Amino acid sequence: MFEELVGQVEVKRKLAFYASAYATSRTVPFLNFIGARGLGKTNFVRSFSKTLLNSKGQKKPLLEINSSSIKTSGQFFEQIFVDHVQDKEVILFFDECHCLPENLIFALLTILNTEKTHVKEYNHGSNTYTFDFTKINILFATTESDKLFLPFRDRLTTIEFADYSTEELEQIFVKNLPDIQIEKDALALLADTSRGNPRSCVLRAKDVGLYCKNYNVTNFTLDDANKLIYILGILPHGLNRIEWQILNILRQQGHSSLSALAAKTGLSRTAIQKDHELFLIKKNLIHIDGLRMITTNGVKVLNSQIN
């Protein structure tokens, strides 16, 4: 089960258990897939949903919902539930569920309280909506679980994603480039510049495919990998230009406050913290102890790049 997906052994084991249990109970816990962007949460949801069959033995349709597109609970019930869920066997998937509106979160607190029964009726306005969880399955995913209302989060069963190993990242390249022989050193370089997540690997694999078609390459070597990196302007470890700028600022100044970095880069403090610093810390390129400081490894990375 889930053989088409690379890595996340614990996630696969949990999902296989819930898929097996569904075959006899016809119900699934309200699963919440938690992990950083690009780790493959949506792909795992899609793969898992294929194991949930309806009463006719057919795959249930998966309705993927961008949570930020829902502005009120009324919108959900009137435009989504009535048209796509009511009296149907379906799987609802709320992506980035921390963006759901507060009034819908409070409604879900009641709807998802299924300790005594798998059927819940919820009154909204003058209408009553019935949720039969042998027919309706609800799945969630978020990159920011800390933003979830705690009582709501407690209603959900957490599926946590781990980081991918270098070997797993390499497997993703191989799986996405079945007609191309990739030399070991080239594969290692591709994995190292993929930012450590499957999404980046898949996108980079497409670039490799285009490169091989363009230059009629069937055996992708380290020289090919370096040439592609030069063409695309890929930085060490897959750093983006803002992260590179932050490293240069810290090397020049020795240290910096978050406010000073925000002023020099033109980004908000929140954007620097969430979108850039986390990756720099993960790669041991910067250190934070009140002030931001570049590490010895960060200096080496800057020196390795010829500007």
CATH number, domain of 94, equals 3.40.50.300
Position 3 in a domain: no
> Quick check: 262 and 269 in contact, CB under 8 A?
yes
- Kindly report the CATH number assigned to the domain that includes residue 267: 1.10.10.10
Distance in angstroms (rounded) separating the CA atoms of residues 191 and 206: 14
Asked if residue 66 and residue 122 are part of one domain, the reply reads: yes
Asked if residue 99 and residue 63 are part of one domain, the reply reads: yes
Tell me the three state secondary structure of residue 94: strand
> Quick check: 210 and 168 in contact, CB under 8 A?
no
Read off the amino acid at residue 147: K
Q: Which residues, including other chains, have CB under 8 Å from residue 188's CB and lie 6 or more apart?
A: 166, 170
DSSP 49-72: HTT-B-TTSSBPPEEEEEGGG---
DSSP 191-229: HHTTTTSHHHHHHHHHHHHHHHHHTT-SEE-HHHHHHHH
> Quick check: 48 and 140 in contact, CB under 8 A?
no
> Quick check: 145 and 98 in contact, CB under 8 A?
yes
Residue found by looking up tokens 């309806």 in the block: 54
Residue found by looking up tokens 């019930």 in the block: 77
Query: Pick from 103, 133, 160: which residue ends a domain?
Result: 160
Position 1 in a domain: no
Angle at the Cα of 9 from the Cα atoms of 5 and 11, rounded to 5 degrees: 85
Specify the length of the chain in residues: 307
Number of domains forming the structure of the chain: 3
Backbone angles phi, psi at 297, to 5 degrees: -65, -35
Query: Pick from 160, 182, 216: which residue ends a domain?
Result: 160
Tokens matching residue 59: 């795959």
Distance in angstroms (rounded) separating the CA atoms of residues 43 and 93: 12
Position 4 in a domain: no
Domain housing 262: 239-304
Asked if residue 138 and residue 34 are part of one domain, the reply reads: yes
Predicted confidence at residue 306, as pLDDT, reads 56
Position 68 in a domain: yes
Distance in angstroms (rounded) separating the CA atoms of residues 201 and 164: 11
Asked if residue 79 and residue 148 are part of one domain, the reply reads: yes
Position 275 in a domain: yes
Position 85 in a domain: yes
> Quick check: 134 and 55 in contact, CB under 8 A?
no
Query: Pick from 130, 160, 190: which residue ends a domain?
Result: 160
Distance in angstroms (rounded) separating the CA atoms of residues 256 and 250: 6
Asked if residue 74 and residue 21 are part of one domain, the reply reads: yes
Integer Rg of the chain from CA: 23
Asked if residue 228 and residue 265 are part of one domain, the reply reads: no
Residue found by looking up tokens 């979160």 in the block: 105
Distance in angstroms (rounded) separating the CA atoms of residues 91 and 135: 8
Whole-model pTM? 0.83
Tell me the three state secondary structure of residue 244: helix
Predicted confidence at residue 79, as pLDDT, reads 92
Position 212 in a domain: yes
Indicate the pairing of strand 90-95 with strand 219-220: unpaired
Asked if residue 203 and residue 139 are part of one domain, the reply reads: no
Asked if residue 113 and residue 84 are part of one domain, the reply reads: yes
Position 228 in a domain: yes
Asked if residue 297 and residue 280 are part of one domain, the reply reads: yes
- Kindly report the CATH number assigned to the domain that includes residue 204: 1.10.8.60
Predicted confidence at residue 116, as pLDDT, reads 78
Q: pLDDT tens digits, the chain, 307 residues: what are they?
A: 788 899 999 999 999 999 999 988 889 999 999 998 888 999 999 999 999 999 999 999 999 999 999 999 999 999 999 999 998 999 999 999 999 999 999 999 999 988 878 898 999 888 999 999 999 999 999 999 999 999 999 999 999 999 899 999 999 999 999 999 999 999 999 999 988 889 999 999 999 999 999 999 999 999 999 999 999 999 999 999 999 999 999 999 989 999 999 999 999 998 998 889 989 999 999 999 989 999 999 999 999 875 5
State which H helix or E strand residue 118 sits in: none
> Quick check: 140 and 157 in contact, CB under 8 A?
no
Asked if residue 46 and residue 18 are part of one domain, the reply reads: yes
Asked if residue 229 and residue 250 are part of one domain, the reply reads: no
Asked if residue 83 and residue 122 are part of one domain, the reply reads: yes
